[in-house]
Amino acid sequence: MSADTFTILIIDDEKNIRRTLTMVLESDGYDILEAGSAKEARVVLDKSTPDAILLDLKLPDVKDLSLLEQIKTDHPRVPVVMISGHGTMTDAVDAVKRGAFDFLEKPLERERVLVTLRNALEARQLRKKVAALAGGGEIIGNSPQMAEVRDWIERVAPTDGKVLVLGESGTGKELVAKAVHEGSQRVSKPFVKVNCAAIPKELVESVLFGHVKGAFTGALKDKVGTFRQANGGTLFLDEIADMGLEAQAKVLRVLQEGEFEAVGSTKTEKVNVRVIAATHRDLESEIAEGRFREDLYYRLAVLVLKLPPLRERTGDVSVLADHFLAEFHQTGLPKRELATLARSAVERYDWPGNVRELRNVMERVAILARGESIEPADLPTEIASGSNPRLQASTGTSGGEIPAIGTPLSDVRAEAERRYLEAVLEATGGNVSEAARRIGLERTHLHKKLAALGLK
């Protein structure tokens, strides 16, 4: 099965019409389902959702446009093209008003059928995209790095190439994986996500490839694996580096040969799946330490995208914060806006948890802030204080102890500076020029300061 095989349901009581349409559409590469009555159509639609429907305007077992209406209710995204006979033009127009995509007049012309159907399928893709955007799937950010990411997705999505998304936790790897799927020919087929880190080692194979009843204790009935569920579509293997070596070997085989066996089965299955993998780990060191198969890495790393951490695109922070606040407002939380001081604190913070952390903080603030305008006091202290959490973590000075009252301010300041500069020098391996650059001081000035503080 190829990725862009669309399934079309033909509903018409005239056998000849069904046969002609089937021939025309099959020769153009479509898969066909047929129904000779409304009743049959309902049976088919209970079991499967076609990509488009060709529907006869006059069926013997249904009144007016009630089948069309039912389809529009049960499968709102599936485009319906009406087939109308002579003298039923006004009815056909009426059908379009009630949600049919278009209509075809008998006698049916091959070219017209194909063009109309193609238009209907395109409209469907667009509708899906719009729905995805409305669902919060938009990639926000005006930094050059994010412009590059969007451009990359646009170029890569329509191909069938395997994709590897790298980047720290919370940088948007899953969002990108979905965008690649949404921008591909496979958009109308499933997007299936597997979190490899969340599956117990002994179950990985069963989850990926399925199992047959009795394959192991607890396998009470046959189970379809995610590779099959994603057939025709995209399989997102999240946290791929957390998968055991044994499962890695099996995944490698599917990628090489497109085939696998369910656990406990001898039947070889074939699927057509585009794989997108992601990890926050450094795959090169995982390979060096023998935890990740190098051959699998080369298989997966066809199209590689490394998402930049948020602290390297500080220009996006404000835009993202506003976006999330608006989003939370839409879902029913009060309207809130960052006041100037809070905004600069948010921009200064270095967001070790990246966009996910920013989103969580905005949610918390949207719930807890005291007024419409968000002040620094509404923010978590580590963000409001403008301190650098990583520096604190590495030096253990959380600024908790206050010197004895009566200590001259100059001493307090000197002590704070001394401790800070010690930490900076430690971080730069004693390199004074580098230390000066990092804290925004002239090198000669820093030398003097170090001497004055007795650090040299």
Ligand X SMILES: Nc1ncnc2c1ncn2[C@@H]1O[C@H](COP(=O)(O)OP(=O)(O)OP(=O)(O)O)[C@@H](O)[C@H]1O
Nearer to ligand X, 240 or 355 (CB): 355
Piece of the chain touching ligand X by CB under 6 A; list 133-141, 284-292, 344-352, 414-422: 133-141
Piece of the chain touching ligand X by CB under 6 A; list 20-28, 99-107, 173-181, 208-216: 173-181
**Phi/psi at 57 (5° precision):** -65, -35
Distance CA 84, CA 421 (A): 82
Q: Which of 343, 353, 330 is nearest to 386 (CA)?
A: 343
Question: Which run of H or E residues covers position 277?
Answer: strand 274-279
Provide the token pair at 176: 């990108």
Nearest approach, Cβ of 280 to ligand X (angstroms)?
Answer: 4
Distance CA 99, CA 76 (A): 9
Binding to ligand X (CB under 6 A) within 242-301 occurs at 280
Beta strand ranges found along 221-379 (DSSP E): 223-224, 234-238, 259-261, 268-270, 274-279, 303-306, 337-338, 373-374
Piece of the chain touching Mg ion by CB under 5 A; list 3-11, 166-174, 284-292, 376-384: 166-174
Look-up of token digits 């729905």? 131
Residue nearest to ligand X (CB): 172
The single residue among 141, 210, 225, 233 that binds ligand X, judged by CB under 6 A, is 141
Piece of the chain touching ligand X by CB under 6 A; list 211-219, 294-302, 354-362, 376-384: 354-362
Nearer to Mg ion, 55 or 194 (CB): 194
Nearest approach, Cβ of 199 to ligand X (angstroms)?
Answer: 15
The single residue among 127, 329, 356, 418 that binds ligand X, judged by CB under 6 A, is 356
Nearest approach, Cβ of 165 to ligand X (angstroms)?
Answer: 8
Asked whether position 181 contacts ligand X by CB under 6 A, the answer is no
Q: Which of 265, 192, 176 is nearest to 227 (CA)?
A: 192
Piece of the chain touching ligand X by CB under 6 A; list 137-145, 216-224, 225-233, 328-336: 137-145
Asked whether position 174 contacts Mg ion by CB under 5 A, the answer is yes
Any long-range contacts for 61-64 (C-beta under 8 Å, 24+ apart)?
A: 61/37, 62/37, 62/38
Distance CA 141, CA 145 (A): 9
**Phi/psi at 277 (5° precision):** -115, 155
Amino acid making up residue 33: L
Nearest approach, Cβ of 172 to ligand X (angstroms)?
Answer: 3
Provide the token pair at 316: 């996006």
Nearer to ligand X, 5 or 169 (CB): 169
Q: Which residues contact Mg ion (rule: CB under 5 A)?
A: 174
Q: Which residues contact ligand X (rule: CB under 6 A)?
A: 139-141, 167, 169-175, 280, 355-356, 359
